[in-house]
């Protein structure tokens, strides 16, 4: 079969150039402070046994295009990759099979690595890291010790997501509809002693500093809502028949205190057991048990039906002495605020719904301007004049807030307060496969100290069983010779047996890439100063209040400690869209995942890369379509055939290019340059298709013109670009094995001539009485006289006007010409 009817031989071609890139290590990061830098970063993958599906390379391809572009622009580029390698799946595999979790992890890493290399990504593999390697987690543990010494790591009894089947605490994102994401086991909210990180100490900075980074507004808003600053007052309610007990609430509406007609405690509130009457005990106990099986998300769902139980106890409203019932309800969380609220059903829709359901008093304290408004039917939530509130009557809301707060402070029953929705980070896991927490305790479980740097890393010991104990302890607790050690005084000390969550290693990995083999610190300060912050970070929005918030927190702590030169890690953040198959997100469980290895085998890595970028805007969700993938493959085959003869020789020549060819080239350079910087890859590819159509029509084979196109193509389809560069530019005068071989991937990015990107002529429509009658080609910014003269040469326009009087001529330069005739 003639070569011109065949697709290009992508398999051999791509493997060949990947081998040359690897052998020459051409993507190695250059340290040259005299040049500008660009740090392009992917959210590094968790290497599962399932491997990649075609949804994963979407973001990776985008960062690779940008990294290749800036490399060609003369920047020092840092484009690293590594592995988020501690995780529950590997541990569960170890529990099921007895095989050490590191073996599955490193098998998965090797598979992922092979898949990524087959896609031709320009990673600096010399900077590869894995969070489960002791040389890496040495410094994760060092950061924990730093946090402990700064008072930002502490132990407390808190409510956690406990999964009895997995025998471990789970993060909120690992719980779906009250069950574990892995295994679908029931999860309960129980109180356990856990290590905590005091992220709340940084709440204000985490909130304010969102204003100085280039992130999607939607992600910023998610973090703002998660941190959620509230200004109001703390108020103390005494409890009837319990003289020493008080219930403290925080409210943003102290002006409505006279309208507080009942109180609600979180079911887990420590006071519930003490104040619940004997008559209500069974109902309260049953309700608390049911609540323990609900996630925080389920409990705070606004549209769910309100539920609750009366404790039988009463509190005293501190401003009017009225007795108010104390209830428990799952919509109040122990982890938010004080775990108690004063309920003002007249002016809060949720409280109103609750009060109506249970027949509780509704007392209006803000007047509605609508005389027909019925407080029994709905809550009044707007501003207005205070009523039914003694010394606050007649004031507007803001003035009433100030006056009641002053009153509370004078009476010592309240004070002005600022709170945040953000809770401290639960940092304990009762697992084996995680970073050991570097802390020593005494025989009573009291913390003695954190490990010093010269004692690190505290490595994981061998264990006979990877399964956690049933009482909430990790498998490490059974390794006596690892847990127990004697100090210099011969006293027994005990190593902490909880391990860190998977989010620990991912909270600072972007710093370690810069100096991954430094044995003295997390990274040389001058190197960190040069490379940080990350210039472009691409990854999923699902990490908005997990990884992205934790990474910002750790960076600020390290900045305050003087070991990191920036206090925000990621200057620009972009979320790639999902790729769907048959309208659903790709996943192994749905059976709709497509293995990139299969696509590469049939169509090639370049086809996969270009197709995923051509599907639509990077940030949008897109539907996989095999026919469109085949179309992209045909486009690349057409590119190859345009440059090379049937026997693989260059078809380029030195025949002069026409003005039209130069114009389309420089328009393409301009368009692709701007589009890459704006991450508009789909329109870049569309422009390259327009270019190919144009030069094919004009039969342009000018070497100077088409050499520039190879450079433009290179970040998108690097393997094909290298092949064309070798055959058409280098002309096989030098071998890719030679020391000074000039790779297309390292060629200088082309510059465009602005004058050649401007059209000298423009087509505009001609209307007669508002109806389109033809088009004319005229010079840009032509005068009205010139436009009218050209229109009179148009046969259709001339025939329509002939014999009629031109009453008015409307001309908008470069846009339209309209004749009003009669």
Helical H runs in 73-128? 88-97, 101-118
Pick the closest to residue 604 from 500, 719, 705, 716 (CA basis): 719
Which H or E run includes 99? none
Q: Which tokens belong to 707?
A: 């050499």
Phi, psi (rounded to 5 degrees) for 313: -100, 165
Instruction: Give just the sign of the alpha carbon dihedral 34, 39, 40, 44.
Output: positive
Contact 589, 176 (CB under 8 A): no
Separation in Å, CA 377 to CA 263, 346, 349, 357, 503: 21, 10, 10, 12, 47
Phi, psi (rounded to 5 degrees) for 801: -85, -30
Separation in Å, CA 735 to CA 15, 82, 224, 711: 16, 32, 56, 19
- State how far the Cα of 330 lies from the Cα of 334, in Å rounded to an integer: 10
Helix, strand or coil, per DSSP, at residue 441:
strand
Pick the closest to residue 264 from 323, 330, 201 (CA basis): 330
Whats the size of the chain, residue-wise? 822
Instruction: Give just the sign of the alpha carbon dihedral 388, 392, 394, 397.
Output: negative
Which H or E run includes 77? strand 76-78
Q: Mapped to the 3 state alphabet, what secondary structure does 460-523 carry?
A: CCCCCCCCCCCCCCCHHHHCHHHHEEECCCCCEEEECCCECCCCCHHHCHHHHCCCCCCCCCCC
Bridge-based pairing of strands 579-581 and 622-623 is parallel
Whether residue 306 is annotated as binding a ligand: the answer is no
Pick the closest to residue 122 from 75, 159, 187 (CA basis): 75
Phi, psi (rounded to 5 degrees) for 262: -160, 170
Residue with tokens 């055939």: 641
- State how far the Cα of 385 lies from the Cα of 365, in Å rounded to an integer: 8
- State how far the Cα of 714 lies from the Cα of 88, in Å rounded to an integer: 39
Residues near 566 by Cβ (< 8 Å), separated by ≥ 6?
528, 532, 533, 555, 559
Is residue 620 classed exposed, middle or buried when 0-12, 13-18 and 19+ CB atoms within 10 A define those classes?
exposed
Contact 48, 589 (CB under 8 A): no
Contact 687, 675 (CB under 8 A): yes
DSSP 105: H
Residues near 435 by Cβ (< 8 Å), separated by ≥ 6?
86, 131, 137, 140, 141, 144, 499, 500, 504, 505
Burial 757-772 (b: 16+ CB within 10 A, else e): beeeeeebebbbeeee
Angle between helices 547-560 and 217-227 (to 10 degrees): 70
Q: Mapped to the 3 state alphabet, what secondary structure does 115-180 carry?
A: HHHHCCCCCCHHHCEECCCHHHHHHHHHHHHHHHHCCCEEEEEEEEEEECCCCEEECHHHEECCEE
Helix, strand or coil, per DSSP, at residue 533:
coil
Binning the chain into helix, strand and coil, the percentages to the nearest 5 are 40, 20, 40
Is residue 583 classed exposed, middle or buried when 0-12, 13-18 and 19+ CB atoms within 10 A define those classes?
exposed
- Binding site for ATP: which residues? 588
Residue set of the binding site: 588
């Amino acid at each position: 079969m003639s070569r011109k009817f065949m697709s290009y031989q992508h398999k051999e071609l791509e493997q060949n150039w990947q081998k040359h890139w690897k052998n020459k290590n051409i993507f190695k990061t250059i340290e040259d402070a005299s040049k500008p830098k660009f740090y392009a970063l992917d959210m590094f993958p968790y290497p599962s046994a399932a491997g990649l599906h075609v949804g994963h390379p979407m973001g990776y391809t985008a960062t690779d295009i940008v990294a290749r572009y800036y490399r060609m622009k003369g920047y020092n580029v840092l484009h690293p990759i590594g592995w988020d390698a501690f995780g529950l799946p590997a541990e569960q595999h170890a529990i099921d099979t007895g095989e050490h979790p590191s073996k599955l992890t490193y098998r998965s890493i090797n598979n992922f690595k092979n898949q990524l290399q087959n896609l031709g990504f320009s990673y600096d593999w010399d900077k590869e890291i894995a969070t489960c390697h002791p040389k890496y987690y040495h410094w994760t543990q060092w950061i924990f010790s730093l946090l402990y010494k700064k008072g930002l790591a502490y132990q407390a009894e808190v409510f956690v997501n406990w999964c009895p089947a997995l025998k471990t605490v789970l993060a909120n994102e690992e719980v779906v509809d009250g069950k574990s994401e892995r295994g679908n086991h029931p999860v309960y909210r129980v109180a356990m002693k856990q290590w905590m990180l005091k992220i709340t100490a940084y709440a204000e900075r985490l909130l304010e500093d969102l204003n100085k980074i280039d992130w999607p507004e939607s992600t910023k808003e998610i973090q703002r809502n998660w941190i959620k600053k509230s200004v109001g007052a703390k108020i103390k309610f005494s409890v009837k028949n319990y003289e020493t007990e008080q219930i403290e609430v925080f409210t943003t509406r102290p002006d409505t205190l006279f309208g507080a007609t009942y109180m609600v405690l979180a079911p887990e509130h420590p006071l519930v057991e003490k104040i619940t009457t004997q008559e209500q005990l069974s109902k309260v106990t049953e309700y608390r048990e049911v609540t323990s099986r609900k996630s925080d998300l389920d409990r705070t769902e606004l549209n769910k039906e309100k539920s609750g139980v009366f404790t039988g106890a009463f509190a005293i409203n501190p401003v009017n002495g009225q007795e108010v019932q104390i209830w428990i309800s799952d919509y109040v969380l122990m982890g938010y605020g004080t775990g108690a609220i004063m309920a003002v059903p007249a002016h809060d829709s949720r409280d109103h719904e609750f009060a109506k359901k249970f027949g509780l008093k509704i007392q209006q304290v803000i007047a509605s301007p609508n005389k027909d408004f019925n407080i029994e039917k709905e809550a009044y939530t707007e501003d207005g004049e205070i009523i039914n509130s003694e010394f606050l009557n007649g004031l507007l809301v803001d003035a009433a807030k100030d006056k009641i707060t002053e009153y509370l402070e004078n009476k010592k029953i309240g004070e002005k307060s600022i709170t945040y929705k953000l809770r401290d980070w639960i940092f304990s896991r009762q697992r084996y496969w995680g970073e050991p927490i570097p802390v020593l305790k005494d025989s009573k479980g009291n913390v003695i100290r954190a490990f010093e740097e010269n004692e690190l890393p505290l490595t994981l010991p061998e264990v006979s069983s990877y399964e956690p104990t049933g009482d909430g302890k990790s498998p490490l607790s059974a390794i006596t010779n690892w847990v127990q050690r004697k100090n210099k005084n011969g006293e027994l000390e005990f190593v902490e047996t909880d391990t860190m969550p998977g989010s620990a290693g991912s909270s600072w990995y972007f710093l370690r890439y810069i100096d991954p083999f430094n044995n003295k610190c997390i990274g040389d300060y001058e190197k960190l100063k040069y490379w940080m912050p990350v210039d472009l970070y691409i990854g999923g929005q699902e990490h908005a209040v997990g990884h992205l918030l934790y990474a910002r927190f750790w960076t600020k702590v390290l900045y305050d400690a003087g070991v990191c030169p920036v206090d925000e890690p990621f200057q620009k953040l972009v979320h790639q869209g999902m790729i769907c198959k048959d309208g659903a997100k790709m996943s192994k469980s749905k059976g709709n995942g497509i293995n990139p290895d299969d696509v590469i085998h049939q169509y090639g890595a370049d086809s996969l890369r270009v197709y995923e970028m051509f599907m639509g805007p990077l940030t949008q969700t897109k539907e996989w379509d095999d026919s469109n993938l085949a179309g992209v493959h045909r486009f690349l085959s057409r590119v190859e055939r345009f440059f090379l003869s049937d026997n693989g020789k260059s078809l380029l020549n030195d025949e002069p290019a026409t003005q039209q060819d130069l114009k389309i080239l420089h328009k393409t350079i301009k368009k692709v340059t701007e589009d890459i910087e704006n991450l508009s890859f789909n329109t870049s590819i569309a422009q390259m298709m327009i270019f190919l159509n144009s030069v094919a029509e004009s039969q342009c084979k000018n070497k100077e013109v088409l050499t520039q196109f190879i450079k433009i193509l290179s970040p998108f389809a690097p393997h094909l670009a290298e092949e064309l560069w070798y055959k058409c530019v280098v002309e096989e005068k030098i071998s890719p094995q030679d020391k000074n071989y000039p790779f297309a991937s390292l060629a200088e990015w082309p510059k465009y001539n602005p004058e050649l990107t401007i059209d000298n002529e423009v087509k505009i429509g001609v209307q007669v009485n508002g109806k389109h009658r033809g088009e004319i080609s005229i010079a840009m910014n032509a005068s009205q006289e010139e436009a009218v003269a050209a229109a009179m040469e148009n046969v259709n326009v001339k025939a329509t006007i002939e014999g009629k009087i031109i009453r008015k001529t409307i001309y908008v330069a470069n846009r339209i010409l309209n004749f009003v005739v009669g």
